[in-house]
Structures are given as C-alpha cells and as structure tokens.
Amino acid sequence: MLWRRLTALALLATGAFPQEEVELRQLNEDNFKATIAHGVWLVEHFSPRCSHCKAFAPTWEELAHEKAYHEQLTGFHMAQVNCLAQGDLCNSNDIRGYPSLILYADGKEVGEFKEDRAYPILEAWIEEKALAYARGEPLGATVEEGEQEEERPTQLSRPNPDGKVVEVDEAGLEALKANGPVFVDFFAPWCSHCKKLRPIYEKLAAAYKGALNIVAVNCDDHPLVCRRNGVMGYPTIKLFQDGEVKPFEQHRTISLMTKFLDEQVKGVPMKKIMSEDFESIVANDDIFFVFATSYATSLEEIEQVERAVKPLGLSVPVYKTNDPLFYKNQSIAMPPPTSSLLAFASHDPQHVSAVALPAKDEDLRLFVQRNRYPNFFELSGDNYNSLFQAEDHPLVVLGAIRDGADGESERQEMLKTAKAWKKGGRPFEQRVLFVSASAVNWEKWLRKMVGIFPVNIPALVVIDTSKNEFYDQTIEGEHAHVRGADAFSVLEGIYQNFLTGKAIESALEWGSRSGTLLLFEAGQWSAAHPFLATLGALACVVGLVLALARCLGGRRPSTRGGYMNEKGVQRLD
C-alpha cells in the first residue's frame, strides 16, 4: 500500500511543466527558527570542506530543482546550513557529522535521513514525507512523551447515512450535536399525534440522507433528557445547531419541515476527505463538489469558496481535500493551481467541470449554479415548477421516451449525452439540463405543450424557458430523436442562432402551465384510484346541483315585480 502511494505521488512529478532554476535556500542563526516554523523542511547541514558533502552536492541540487513544486502542493521545502559559517547554529542543532539531513515539521525536529544518499532512495523518502505531511499523517517522532497520535477514522463519517430516523439517548444526542445540526422529535409512544407524525418524519429522514441527522427521543424511556430540553407536550420538534435551539411550531408536513430546515440550517462546514474516502462518496452522492486545496491556498480563496457554496445549503454536499493523490487521480495539471473547485455528477469518479482559483466571485457563483443539478433526471410533478419556472431560466433538453426496455435504452442514451455535454458543450449563459419524460405519463402534456404525438416517440426537443419557445429540429432540418448527435445539433443551432423557436403558448392553448400540470396530476391520480375518483366526481355533480338549486331558489318572484334576493330585498334585473 505504501509503495503504491509513493509511486502514485512520484508520478505527479513526471507531468510536463516549466522547470525554473531553483536557488538553493541558505539558512542562518537569524532566520532558521522563523523559516522552519511552518511546513516541512529537509535541511542539509554541511561543511564546504567535507569531501562527502562535495560528492553529495549535485544530488542535492537536482532534488531541490525537481521537488520545488512540493513547496506549493504539500508544503515540503529543502534548505541548507553551512556549518563552517554557522557553527553555533549547527551546535545547537546537535550536528555531529557532515552532511546531516534533518527533517523538521512546523518547527520541530521529526527525523533524520540516515540511508544511502543515492538519488532514487532519497527521492522516495522525500515523496513519502511530503505525502504524509500533506495528509496529516505522522512523519516520525513528533509526539511528546506521554502523548498519543490521534488515529483517523477508517471510514468517512456522514450524517444520516441510511436516511432513517434514529432513536437516541442523551449521550447519543449530545454526540450528534457536537458534530453538526440535529433535528429532533421528542415523542411518547402512546401519543396519537406522535404516531401520526412518524411516517412523515421517516420520509423527511429519507429526503435528508447524508445531509442532516433526523433523530427521535423517546420521552418515556428518557424523561430527564426531555425535561432538560423543555419538552412540555408531544410531539415537540426542535433543531439544535451551534449551541442554539430553534423549535419547529408549524403544521407537521414534509413541505413545511423541509422549508424550515432549508431556511434555518446554516451552511454546513466542508468535510475534509482523503483519496481513500472518494470511492464511497461517488457511490453515495449523485451531485457533489470537492474543494481541492494545497499548501499555498490562501484564506481569501477559502472564504471565496465558502461564499460560493453557501446557497447550496443541505441540498448538495461539499468536501475539501489537500491529498496529493486526489490531484493525481483527477489528472490536475502540475504544478497545480493554488486551489480548485471541482464538480461531480451521476456517480462518475471523474469530475465533469472545474474552476481554478483565484477567480472572480461571479464566475465562481455561476460555476456552482450550473453544476448543482444532476446531469440528467426524470420529469415529475415534484420538480416541474422548479424546472420550468426557475429564476435563471435554463435550457431544457427534453427526451420523450418509451416505457420498458426500449425506454431504458433511451434513458441511458440521454445520460451519456448529458455527460458529454457537461465535459465539452457550448458555454451558454443559461444552464443546460437534460430531462426525460415518460411518453405514457406525459402524453397529453407532450402533445399540447411541444407537439409530440405518440407516433413520434421517441423524440427530443429543447425548451428555452426564458422565451417560452421550443426547438424540435436539428440544423439539418430533421425532427430530433433521442440521440446524442441530435441533441448536440439542436443545441448548436440555438447557440449559433441558426434555428427559429416555436412558441409554447400557441401550441398549448390550454391555459397556464400550472393549470396543465394540475389537470395532468388529477388524471394520473384518477387512473390510480378509479373508485375514489368516481366518488369524487359524483360528489362534484351533487354539489353543483345543490349550488344551482340554491341560486335559483334565491330568485323567487315578487308580488311587486322583479325578484327577491336571498335576504328578501327586491331586485329589478
């Protein structure tokens, strides 16, 4: 394992990048302590008169030149002390022979290189120490007597990993509160309102899987915990965050609880990860960002990224890493930028987009905005309004697909196209989203909205939500199908202003889009619940008859002519 890690890091240095002439850094008694106070330093203590030092000089100079990129990437530096000129400094450093290669980390001596000073051996040792320092791993004898090294967890800890409500005791609740925000339901098992809430609360936990701990405390089993938290009735729901407590006092619906959490939960700090955590993140998170930092990352860059990702709230996880192996795995150029923000989607281990820092705030904001959504998703009643009425008015590449095996093949083609567009599509000012719509479930909508009839399925259109227009033909003048080439052709035609859009409203002539969605959802519900739909229809008819009778009954003839209204006041219509 160690050898694979050293080999991987060594490969970082083989990339083509400018090799500037490196001046050998000389330390003296005045600047020694201040210089080695930050970062990891390999310091050669030598004497100009020493024959071994003279023989080693070319190797040292070559290594200082080849490993200079580590100063920015990992914080590994190389320097020299001329003991003939700095005798007191070498004595205070307990130097007993030349050359002596002493390793310091953040001002403390942590080891000495005592092996053969051949280039490949010393190079491998340098790579090992640079990697360990960047990853926060022990470099050597850095622990004071009586102290112990803190072990890093073997698995990445994430809130609510299973998307389920977890019942906790006092110790469990306090442990969760110490690690981030917690939403807590204080309940009693005999409480009818608590029983009614539980299925809703379970759905809420599923919605915040991997994002927020959703827990419950049984007040019959833990009465003291409930009294300490001011529980006066059941259920009592509270949000704990950063020592603050905010009660939830609205109707206990998923939509209201979600709105409360999205508004009240502060930006969750970026969780630090290492390369070995990445596989599980890709498997669990459909969309996420990674802030790749280096030793040279500035406080301003960190604050800039924090501002840019703050609007994501709990909806999209953001991680940070300074692991050099992550840079290698993502093929980031060497020497790297001081830091980069990378976007990932669709459980793909390779990033779909990246921005190097420093960058303009607006560029960073747009980068986050454009990459916060999945490459590809399915149209539903839940996401319809957020898609077609979004404030930034995206371009929607909509594929009307079949059900069954054919539909799955078309869905995979859409996904592949979406990934290709993310990596190399035109830079529209609008977001470009790829969406599938079941030709069965959305038949009426597709026909009325964009003129797609069952005989045309599978078909593809691009909807410009900013203009209420759609495009259903390629540059070549053919009807677009669910193919990558067709999607790129239509988008290219829009980008180059080669194509003319068709007005959605004139094709619809069916009222507003919200009304269309309401009718569609009513039809879907009726098909799924025919008996209840029939009863509802009968109830509507009876209500209409009663209302009509009431209106007619209120307009009875008057002996003086005209009609009487419901209060007996004469009206002359």
79 and 183: one domain? no
- Do the beta carbons of residue 344 and residue 283 sit within 8 Å? no
Residue 109 lies in a domain: yes
Which of 371, 406, 436 is the C-terminal boundary of a domain?
371
**Residue 17 neighbours by CB distance under 10 Å:** 12
Task: Return all residues near 304 (Cβ < 8 A) that are at least 6 apart.
Answer: 357, 358, 359, 361, 364
Instruction: Mark 221-237 as b/e (b = at least 16 C-beta within 10 Å).
Output: ebeebbeebebeebbbb
Three-state secondary structure string covering 219-263: CCCCHHHHHHCCCCCCCEEEEEECCEEEEECCCCCHHHHHHHHHH
Q: Are residues 427 and 491 part of one domain?
A: yes
- Contacts made by residues 273-278, CB under 8 angstroms, sequence distance 24+: 273/156, 273/319, 273/320, 273/321, 273/323, 274/135, 274/152, 274/321, 274/323, 274/325, 274/326, 275/321, 275/323, 275/325, 275/326, 275/329, 277/155, 277/156, 278/326, 278/329, 278/349
Query: Among 355, 371, 387, where does a domain finish?
Result: 371
Judgement on whether residues 190 and 260 belong to the same structural domain of the protein: yes
Task: Examine the fold and report which residue of 336, 371, 406 is the final residue of a domain before the chain moves on.
Answer: 371
Tokens 């009693």 sit on residue: 188
Whether the CB-CB separation of 113 and 125 falls below 8 Å is answered with yes
Euclidean distance between CA atoms 362 and 240, whole angstroms:
33
Domain membership flag for residue 140: no
Q: Report, as an integer, the average pLDDT of 190-206.
A: 93
Q: What is the model's pTM?
A: 0.65
Residue 2 covered by a domain: no
The residue type at 494: I
Cα atoms in the 13 Å half-sphere on the side-chain side of 380:
5
Run of H or E residues at 507: helix 504-508
> Is the per-residue pLDDT at 28 higher than 70?
yes
Domain count, the chain: 4
d(CA 484, CA 451): 21
Radius of gyration of the CA atoms of the chain, in A: 33
The band of 546, judged by pLDDT with boundaries at 50, 70 and 90, is: confident
In a shared domain, residues 495 and 380: yes
| 556 has a pLDDT exceeding 80 | no
Contact 411, 400 (CB under 8 A): no
Q: How far apart are CA 299 and CA 296, in angstroms?
A: 10
3-state secondary structure of 18: coil
pLDDT digits (tens, 9 = 90+) for 43-73: 999 999 999 999 999 999 999 999 998 998 8
The answer to the question of residue 401 being in a domain is yes
**CA 526 remoteness from chain centre:** 38
3-state SS of 314-360? CCCCEEEECCHHHHHHCCCCCCCCCEEEEEEECCCCCCCEEEEECCC
Q: Examine the domain organization and report whether 385 and 497 are in the same domain.
A: yes
pLDDT reading at 542 higher than 80:
no
- Is residue 532 predicted with pLDDT exceeding 50? yes
User: Per-residue confidence at 182, pLDDT binned at 50, 70, 90?
Assistant: very high
For the domain that residue 126 is a member of, what is the CATH number?
3.40.30.10
Give me the percent of the chain exceeding a pLDDT of 90.
47
The mean per-residue pLDDT over the stretch 98-114 comes to: 94
CB contact at 8 A, 110 and 141: yes
307 and 383 both lie in a single domain: no
> Same structural domain for residues 178 and 77?
no
E strand or H helix that includes residue 293: strand 287-293
Is the per-residue pLDDT at 290 higher than 50? yes
* Rounded-to-integer distance, Cα 264 and Cα 181, Å: 10
Same domain (yes/no): 357, 417? no
Q: How far apart, in whole angstroms, are the C-alpha atoms of residue 282 and residue 290?
A: 11
Domain assignment present for residue 538? The answer is: no
Domain that holds residue 318: 271-371
Q: Is residue 23 part of a domain?
A: no
Residue 126 lies in a domain: yes
SS (H, E, C) 433-481: EEEEEECCCCHHHHHHHHCCCHHHCCEEEEEECCCCEEECECCCCCECC
Q: Are residues 131 and 59 in the same domain?
A: yes
Which parts of 376-442 fold into alpha helices (H)?
384-388, 404-424
User: pLDDT digit string (tens) for 248-270?
Assistant: 999 999 888 988 988 888 766 78
pLDDT at position 330: 84
Position with higher pLDDT, 82 vs 537: 82
For residue 15, the SS3 value is coil
- 170 with 207, same domain: the answer is yes
Identify whether the C-beta of residue 47 lies closer than 8 Å to the C-beta of residue 83. yes
In a domain, 65, yes or no: yes
Q: Is the pLDDT of residue 231 over 80?
A: yes
Q: In terms of domains, do 290 and 303 share one?
A: yes
Alpha-carbon distance of 444 to 520, in angstroms, equals: 8
On whether both 36 and 102 belong to a single domain, the answer is yes
pLDDT for residue 402 is more than 70: yes
